[in-house]
Amino acid sequence: MPAHKKDATVRARANKATSRADLGLARPARRPRLPQYVPGGEKVKWHPQARAWWASVWESPVARALIDVDARALLRLAVLEHEFWSAAGVTDRLRVAAEIRIEQQAFGLEPYARRRLEWQVRVTEDIVEPAERSGAASRGTPARRERRPDPRATLHVV
């Protein structure tokens, strides 16, 4: 007896991303300068590692997904980066590192966060998409197939 497919609306798992969204055509954020003052009004000489982090975020492919409103939240993360590199003791550095890990996830600044946000960054033009790679691997087939002539094209009716 043939198995009947369930209606898609009653399936328990539809394998669709619940967080995927198309927010429309966004204008990429411009790279803001780090301010001279941090929250609390104190003047700051930014740690060189915090400056390098700020530049790398805005020069990365992830920056294409950022809009101007994200700059303020990233500034808070820059303050944490500054605190991390300026911390005197290991305990303070570990406390700030934990907060940095949490905040970075919101912006896709680490591999697992990008996967969760369903962002893909191409490293080269011929990269195999992760979905193709994981699906092919689970079926035991190669991720990329060579283009070969179809053997059926040589069959003739006699």
Please tell me the predicted confidence (pLDDT) of residue 47.
Answer: 93
Going by pLDDT thresholds of 50, 70 and 90, the confidence category of residue 60 is confident
| % of the chain with per-residue pLDDT over 90 | 17
How far apart, in whole angstroms, are the C-alpha atoms of residue 134 and residue 118? Answer: 14
66 Rama class: left (phi>0) / alpha (psi -120 to 50) / beta: beta
Q: What is the pLDDT of residues 17-48, one digit of tens each?
A: 555 655 555 556 678 888 887 667 778 889 99
- pLDDT grade for 132, boundaries at 50, 70 and 90: very low
* Model confidence pTM above 0.75: no
